[in-house]
Chain A
Amino acid sequence: MTVIEAAGLRKEFVVRTRSGWLRRRTRMVGAVNGIDLRVERGETLGYIGPNGAGKSTTLKMMTGVLFPSAGRLRVCGFEPVPQRIQLARRIGVVFGQRSQLWWDLPLGDSFALLRHVYGVPAGDHAERLARCRRLLDLDAFLDAPVRQLSLGQRMRGELTAALLHSPEVLFLDEPTIGLDVLSKQAVRTFLTSLGATGDTTLVLTTHDLADIERLCRRLVVVDHGRIVHDGSLEDLHARYRSRRRVVVELDEPLPAPLALPGVSVESVQADGRRITYALDGDAATAGELVTRLGAIAALRDISVLEPDIEDVVARLYTDRPGAPSA
């Protein structure tokens, strides 16, 4: 079942700049410039892109906050802004910067209020809340006013608040921003288990690529309001010829340089006793390299480094759309 369907989705903003004493120049700036996207039920989708790429604008159109300038958009079968209220019952939203909680009331009061706002039967509500309390460890601060919570505690509260009405789609805008390592871990573990059930579709924007590696099967990269990549993380690496690295430590420097197709030497250290090889795509395997090395030298230690997603994405952002040939 398709839960999100976007075709030719656009959003333009009017920007007025002062160009004279009283004169103002008006121009249209496209934040989202034609996005086509289909998300099926149970998918976990990571939406990434540099600042100003149109991630948040897209999410706001999908959640019924912003009205699209053009294009077709359906979320859970609804047209987001005109059918905002019906849609709101079916989705959960965690906007890192815009709290859904009542600032001056105990956290538990917010949950009780949201039950009324969403009209959730008391039994279902209690059951879902109990689950979140256990998984997110809320009990220690359930009675504290929200304004006194740490950011990590508050984010755990926001996640609970977004899930108490059992939404079909959960939208998360930078859910781990500003969190410490432990809180990030807690949030990711929780979202992983939520995604694993296959009932809830997760759509998250993030700048933290570790979120993507941990959580998302599917990765959508946007830049300048367009999708520049839509596929798995592996697809992305393949497309951008990400290279795995093999670092070997030897007892003695190699008698002669190793020649193997698809393998190149990236650096040589410690008088030739530590060599970093880069493997090009599928042309060579780490096993093959190690076997060949073992035949001509004594190996002390081997480590394989996975391609760095940050590098890939940084390369993606600097390329103009359509530029990559692979």
Chain B
Amino acid sequence: MASAGWSSTVASSRLGVYVHLLSAQVRSQAQYGTSFAIDVVGSIAFGLLDVVTVVVLFRVSPTLAGFTFPEVFLMTALASSAFAIADLLVGNVERLRFYVRTGLLDAVLVRPLGALLQLAAMDVAPRRVGRVAFGIAMVALAAVQARLALGPAGLALLAIAPVAGAVIFAAVFVASASVAFWWVESGEMANAVTYGGHDFAAYPVSIYGALMRRAFAYGLGFAFVSYYPALALLGRADPLGAPAALGYCSPLFAVAAAALAGLVWRTGVRHYRSTGS
């Protein structure tokens, strides 16, 4: 009891610091007078693009690898909302390579806060809230459209799948950004995995070739973001033969992915080389 109380105090004070850092960031950005409203609209447009792509696809073909429009739309909605949440929270860790290259990470490392927490707060883009809201609306719409008849377990999965997916994306964001600790000129490689992963997760895994499937669906685990949860919600069997309960395992997979990403990050921090003087 005592230790639980203590750790929750620590957590809440950390959260407090994070909120202070976030508000500082928001005030900094307000200095430049760009219209927050326009930025939010722009961010929603990204979500809209996901919808348009699926709609256009289904104007060409009535089904996609045996899946109907509402079924694929559910996958797209889950992928889109998960990505939007991850992008809002840690999307900017890809800026790590800039901080490593310039040595600015030094200033981050001498403060008594986790480096990842600080980086996440330093470059947060509040406009991305728009895409998160849009993504959540998409999930609700998709659930209605697919006429999901859900029990308590199903409803819980529907609520938790975007969060678990967000954790998986966040893990990929962090792990791929960590590459900059070893290889400063990693360029856009991290973006290829993260944005590529989002596009991959928007469609049923079964449409991809074996190589892509192995790398993205199973290797990086993007199948757990949308495909497996959607199958479980729809009550459909996986044409590729995976067990039906796998959809309910995505939170577990997310926790494992986050732990692995944390390990990669911490190892990376030890490899940090800084720059001269």
Contact = CB atoms under 8 A, between A and B. Distances in A.
B17 interface: yes
Interface stretch (B83-91, B102-110, B131-139, B249-257): B102-110
Given A85-B113, A116-B17, A67 B270 contact: yes
A117 B111 contact: yes
A118 B110 contact: no
Contacts of B112: 85-86, 88-89, 117-118
Interface residues of B, number: 30
Interface centre among B13, B29, B103, B110 (most CB of A within 10 A): B110
A117 B274 contact: no
B219 interface: no
Interface in B73-104: 103-104
B22 to A, nearest CB: 11
Interface stretch (A40-48, A91-99, A263-271): A91-99
Nearest to A66: B274
A113 B24 contact: yes
Interface centre among B27, B112, B270, B273 (most CB of A within 10 A): B112
Summarize A's interface: helix, strand, loop or mixed.
Answer: mixed
Contacts of B17: 116-117, 119
Question: Which interface class (under 10, 10 to 19, 20 to 34, 35 or more) fits A?
Answer: 35 or more
A30 B179 CA distance: 24
A117 B18 CA distance: 9
A113 B274 contact: no
A37 interface: no
Contact of B24 (A13, A88, A91, A102): A102
Interface of A: 13, 51-52, 56-57, 60, 63-67, 81, 84-86, 88-89, 91, 93, 95, 97-100, 102-105, 109, 113, 116-119, 145, 173-174
9 closest cross-chain pairs (CB), A and B: A88-B112, A104-B28, A98-B107, A93-B110, A116-B20, A67-B270, A89-B112, A104-B31, A65-B109
11 contacts: A13-B273, A51-B277, A85-B114, A88-B110, A88-B111, A98-B103, A103-B28, A104-B29, A104-B31, A109-B24, A117-B112
Interface of B: 13, 16-17, 20-21, 24, 27-29, 31-32, 103-107, 109-114, 269-274, 276-277
Given A51-B277, A102-B28, 4 more contacts: A67-B270, A113-B21, A113-B24, A116-B17
